[in-house]
């Protein structure tokens, strides 16, 4: 999908975050306090990314997950903003999702910190 088609499909905020590596404001996203059972998918291409049973409340203001479906997320070193982080993008379409940190509370030790605007949700 080219940039013109993406601008028509996505809201301005979805485009800014997924295509320009932006970040939504904390505690404002629709999935921060979302607890339904189902699947979180990429808003751009629909790829399933995070089952709802991997979501936890991190208190950070963004939806957090302890693991992604294997092969659906690409990891890239991100040293922007003067911090050493690992960016996560959708492997299928390249949409920016957020970052992953090594401070998760479960046995994976991971916290996938994802912008709500990058996600859709489907009940199972």
Sequence-distant (≥ 6) Cβ neighbours of residue 48 within 8 angstroms = 39, 40, 41, 69, 72
Quick one: how far is CA 52 from the chain centroid? 13
Compute the distance between CA of residue 59 and CA of residue 74 in angstroms, rounded to an integer.
24
Pick the catalytic residue: 42, 45, 90, 113? 113
For strand 38-42 and strand 48-51, is the pairing parallel, antiparallel, or unpaired? antiparallel
Rounded alpha-carbon distances, angstroms, from residue 95 to 10, 41, 53, 115: 12, 11, 23, 11
Catalytic status, residue 113: yes
Compute the distance between CA of residue 26 and CA of residue 3 in angstroms, rounded to an integer.
26
Residues with active-site annotation: 113
């Amino acid at each position: 999908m080219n940039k013109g088609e993406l601008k028509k499909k996505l809201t301005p905020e979805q485009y800014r975050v997924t295509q320009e590596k932006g970040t939504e404001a904390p505690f404002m996203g629709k999935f921060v306090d979302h607890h339904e059972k189902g699947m979180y998918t990429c808003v751009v291409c629909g790829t399933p990314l995070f089952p709802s049973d991997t979501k936890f409340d991190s208190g950070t203001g963004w939806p957090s997950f302890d693991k992604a479906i294997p092969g659906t997320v690409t990891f890239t070193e991100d040293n922007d903003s003067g911090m050493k982080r690992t960016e996560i993008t959708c492997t299928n379409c390249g949409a920016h999702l957020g970052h992953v940190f090594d401070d998760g509370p479960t046995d994976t030790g991971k916290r996938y910190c994802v912008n709500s605007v990058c996600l859709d949700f489907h009940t199972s």
